[in-house]
Structure 1
């Protein structure tokens, strides 16, 4: 075994070894400390103040980009679009539509934006600009059934926003017959719900299908009966061509105010 003969030789041979070990120990310690004290990716991102909704919405948008499942990612964008609209950031909401890959989710996002805007009671000119942009986004949908549904949602949103002329124009421009009839019927239902009988009847008159028209008249007759607007309900019932459907609508008018008919169904069942 080799022996050192002097202190000088010991220092010469051992000190480099000690320095090397010390260096390795320090490096290892630094790696451990860095791993222990460094924030995780979730912790590293800037946190929002909980009352700062725009900040949180932007965080959701940033996070959504990393969702691998297309359906989940599209749904996240759809819900975020509504939040942006309610908060007054309609352009940010519309910008999300192009990020959505599923055609029917694009249509549902257009619906969400339109309905959220209608709920927000904006000035008329602001609605005009919004619905023009939503129509443009609907134009871009290549899947024709989803595109037609998107147009229907635009028309419905316009009716909710009291833009009846816009709703009529949107519905009339639709080339799919069935969905065009549906758009007029849905618009009429919204107008009836808000008590605007003249607008509701005008929308239904634009339907050129007997079956769709009968269904639409039956729907608004039911709405007006529930509202106790019986004159409007009777007018709607009289316009129904199908005798059975018309009879049911008329009978509902007769039943209005009947104590038994006004009872909850569970109570009626117990009496029987």
Structure 2
């Protein structure tokens, strides 16, 4: 959906504004209403979270999407995230991973290499800078996951702080530099991206991911994310098949079919 947006009239600057601006509007009551106000230390943590999974993260993913493809981006960023999380936990927090987890990380990397090789054979080698941008985004995602697990914030509080800080830091520059292209985009395109970016990504996806980290822990939650390319491929079979089957037949094929069903004389 993000690639769809940046290849039409809107640009990544508009995507980021919609994602965090609408998210801030929806989630701000969770941290400012009476009885739910946060201490200053929590706001400081939220600022760090916004750097890791706010506008910089979105811009890196968008750069990767622009230089590679939606399929490659969906394969690289989510798949590398649990690997980075495991390495960071082992390297900085001195937590032992065990042979089984290292085997799992090696399997993830092997699968990614095989998938990338198959894609390169069919479509050519991917852009190295695009892969690097997606890898950096995955590393930031992993760091955020580890820090959130130890922050003490609730899933909705963390999501709200990410959106609020991202909007406060990004929106003034976005408006001052005149980066908006809403005037040339259709109302349908804007509404679609507003729903997906502002409601589903900044609201539903971010909160539910935080909840998964709270319930499962960093390692288990990030490992589940590695299933994303496989799940997307499986879902593509019935979904895209249904879409293709629902298309009307071409005129020539339709007339040929009618001719073949006429009784022979």
Same fold (TM over 0.5): no
Task: Quickly name the TM-score band, shorter chain normalised.
Answer: under 0.3
Computing the radius of gyration from Cα coordinates, the structure with the larger value is: 1
TM-score, normalising length: structure 1: 0.19
